[in-house]
Structure 1
């Protein structure tokens, strides 16, 4: 009521406010009562106002850091332009660190020790990088904090102010250059694996996972005692455990170097309608390597395994832009800012030359 207009901003795929913080009113009408049963102000506003998805993603420096969430939570609508140098280094942005941990009293000591080793290694090898540790429950967070405190007492140095150890319940809003996950779940001392996933198993648990896997700007280390196929989650009521298994499989795929970016899936049209396919045929005659490979460009020019530049046309990517300014100003500016060379081709030029 303090302004003529309001913009309500949020992400329904991340953590919603807890019921603990909801206000209750004694004299509220039945209609107001129904309205207050929604999860948040954001969800309430969706019932009455139109909504718009902000598509640009700027935190992650590489596609493999955000692609999982983009596929499973945002229907492949997020757009990320990675740095040219980063994408050509071909170093996986996710590293799968498998250990032989044991799940005991809701903790995994071997995993915690491996996390501490990684923190010390990163402090020595990348002292300028900010680091955060994310656990899947509070007892594992406490154990890692205890082990880190012991290393400080032994004179192995302290940690930067930006360093944190948190669990998936309270890491929303944070971001660091490097994130280390301690999954924790493992077989017990008898070798039995119990499918107990804490808050991930609850309704909306998948949002906690989404928050956790999108905190890193440059690199993720997944420290885990299990392989993806060890998780038997087919009978899980909610999607959190199933998505955890999918994420572990995705992380293992990226870590092994098997990840490949995919072009943006757009409306299927006959190839003869599209300029990019005509350009591709011309390039093949010249023996150039021109592919539909990256989601932010129509075509990609490669030399061996390295990217050289991208090609932009007035095909579907151009047509789905939210404004003329985006296509003609913002995209060229972003490409130059992130080190990409690019060419622009227009359909009218093609037909003039015919």
Structure 2
């Protein structure tokens, strides 16, 4: 049809071609033989001078609309897929999924309790052994021998054991696979030969870790003391002479090398950073995460960075661990602890000497100052810490102060040696930098004598050093300058463009494709009086929505994560947009107005959760079902019929997993006998065993 219309346009103004014109009209009439009205309408549009392309596109839209309407009428599922139906389905799924997740803990606890109960019944000799060992004050069996003698019961009572590889070797016998699954966390910090003894204790193994962070060294995660008050240092105090030859292959890399592709999974969701710019450097760097992480943007355009450039006298800014940088780092830390005690804080130094000097200066200045709280209210596990980059992996805080500790050797002469950062073997320097710059949830502040814009990129030959200078520029620019790691612009598709143009015509200011990671908001709506604050996320069910692998990802996790970061959320469904555009525009405008009305210029600081009251911590036993059966007072145990069984069923109706001894005691106290003869004991035990065998009691 488009070709016919184009040919018609070419010949309609040329009188000698009238026969050709007639043939084209006949051909056009044949194409739309089923609709005389459409043929007349097309001829009228052609005669009015309308462009053939516009006419053809209009016919295509009408045809597509007709086909879509026909399919919708024939399919009940599609016929009902309006906004109310779609929103209802999504909300129902989110509610059910949330209930499922909340109930998972109790379900697992119940399953573990049932298993432990079954093991107690199946292995009474192990029960007796453990109770005997518990009563003893001396000459107890070692943990290794006790586990060897009562493995089933111990595993059922404690189904999940957390141990280091060394403790596994000391505690568990080596003769069999005692556990169904062995899970290694922080596997990039474990050398393979230390893991073998743990692998032998399980039937399956799961290895989890980040190959872009530290690999095993003498100062790695599993080689340091877990002491909040100590600064762990490397064996070699001269960081400048650090050599990556100390590193070895990790368990994570060893397993990845031998597993097929299907045996390796990458977790892409990143939750720690509340502003995705905090992870943007690592996410964009091709030698780190290569834009594979899924992050969510902040509701504020204010940068989560601050750069403190240290300047001063020659003696204060030159050399390793310059005095001026130490003092400014401590000043910034103390100011934060006094002004924002609700936010946890960590200081990370690139060198161990520098970390030690900062600690000493902090102790000298802070002393016993009672106005300085070292941890936020209600969060004692997030105490203020000073670490160097070799010992910070595994920690995270709301705010991180990064102190470089490498001043120029003399004024005007740039430094190019930054200790372990310089090492490019196995990219160890870049991986160390990655650990340091990804510890913060809310903000990073850099204290340094380094002006990163004085460096010539052509002289940055080390991957680690270039990464350090790039990161310092990124922070210095307030999260704008990523250099050759810059984020690519993502164009809008026609559907998104139509939404953008239509909402802009309604006076709604917004930023399309907002974000810096692979996942971006379709539209971020700005507050009309405060353009630096975003008040609403508008998302359409376009390509990014349908590219999600699961309904949980697209309909719950993504929206829940945005709401956790302070976003309000509005969805535009494509079917509704095409069929009821005016209504969708009205709903979108209404959502924007509600978000404006709910906006607060200064959001209230989150208050720490109050300590739970003692009364709230008391748990109450579930109630038994029905009335307690009466137990007749008969002369002999043989005179009882179903009364004992009825009482046992009632006693176990509370759902608690009662042991045989508990049931026996409950029944015996209701009988008129004072002595526990063999006939009485056997009768009660027979009733218990019979009820268990037929499934009347658990």
Q: What TM-score comes out, normalization by structure 2 length?
A: 0.43
Aligned to 2:546: 319
Matches within 5 A, 1:94-133: 94-100=305-311, 102=316, 104=318, 106-133=320-347
- State the 1:78 CA deviation: 1.8
**Correspondent of 1:77 among 275, 292, 300:** 292
Matches within 5 A, 1:34-183: 39-47=249-257, 48-50=259-261, 51-72=264-285, 73-82=288-297, 87-88=299-300, 90-100=301-311, 102=316, 104=318, 106-153=320-367, 155-156=368-369, 160=374, 162-183=383-404
Q: Aligned pair 1:328/2:549, yes or no?
A: no
Partners of 1:195 and 1:347 lie apart in 2 by 54
Change (3 A) 1:149 1:351: closer
Partners of 2:252 and 2:489 lie apart in 1 by 29
Contact 2:399 2:440 in 1 (8 A): yes
Aligned to 2:527: 303
Deviations along 1:175-223, whole A, 9 cap, x unmatched? 1111111112222345433311111010220111111111111221101
Contact 1:95 1:251 in 2 (8 A): yes
- State the 1:118 CA deviation: 1.0
Aligned to 2:493: 271
* Count of residue pairs brought into register by the alignment: 327
SS at structure 2 position matched to 1:62: coil
Structure 1 gaps of 5+ residues are 22-36
- State the 1:94 CA deviation: 0.8
Q: Select the structure of larger CA radius of gyration.
A: 2
SS at structure 2 position matched to 1:242: helix
Aligned to 1:212: 436
Contact 1:103 1:188 in 2 (8 A): no
Change (3 A) 1:339 1:129: closer
SS at structure 1 position matched to 2:444: strand
Contact 1:181 1:220 in 2 (8 A): yes
Structure 2 gaps of 5+ residues are 1-199, 221-246, 376-382, 582-698
Change (3 A) 1:337 1:237: closer
Change (3 A) 1:4 1:226: same
Query: 37-46 vs 276-285, which deviates more?
Result: 37-46
Change (3 A) 1:290 1:129: closer
Contact 2:284 2:487 in 1 (8 A): no
Deviations along 1:54-79, whole A, 9 cap, x unmatched? 12211122122122221113222222
Q: What TM-score comes out, normalization by structure 1 length?
A: 0.82
Aligned to 2:504: 284
Change (3 A) 1:164 1:335: closer
CA RMSD of aligned residues (A): 2.9
Contact 1:107 1:184 in 2 (8 A): yes
Partners of 2:535 and 2:386 lie apart in 1 by 40
Query: 132-141 vs 303-312, which deviates more?
Result: 303-312
**Comparing both chains, which one has the higher relative contact order based on Cα–Cα distances under 8 Å and sequence gaps of 6 or more?**
1
- State the 1:173 CA deviation: 0.9
- State the 1:239 CA deviation: 0.6
Change (3 A) 1:282 1:187: same
Deviations along 1:132-186, whole A, 9 cap, x unmatched? 1111112211211121222245x54576261211111111111111111111222
SS at structure 2 position matched to 1:54: coil
Matches within 5 A, 1:244-259: 244-254=468-478
Partners of 1:263 and 1:107 lie apart in 2 by 34
SS at structure 1 position matched to 2:326: helix
